[in-house]
Amino acid sequence: MGKDYYCILGIEKGASDEDIKKAYRKQALKFHHPDKNKSPQAEEKFKEVAEAYEVIA
């Protein structure tokens, strides 16, 4: 089964472009950016969020 990019960004299908952008920024900057989060999984999560945004936006 494929990835649910909407779930990764924490938004519903049919979200507006503005909501998608806000969700991406929130996820990328607050939770998964490697400079903000030193967790070993942070870089992988950041890449997943970036991929989700690329596909949806």
1-57 residue pLDDT tens:
689 999 999 999 999 999 999 999 998 887 766 677 778 788 888 889 999 999 999
With both helix axes pointing from N to C terminus, report the angle between 17-25 and 42-56 in degrees, rounded to the nearest 10: 170
Q: Give the whole-angstrom CA distance, residue 28 versus residue 33.
A: 5
pLDDT the model gives residue 3: 93
Domain ranges of the chain: 5-56
Cβ atoms of residues 2 and 48 within 8 Å: no
Q: Which CATH superfamily is domain 5-56 in?
A: DnaJ domain (1.10.287.110)
pLDDT the model gives residue 33: 66
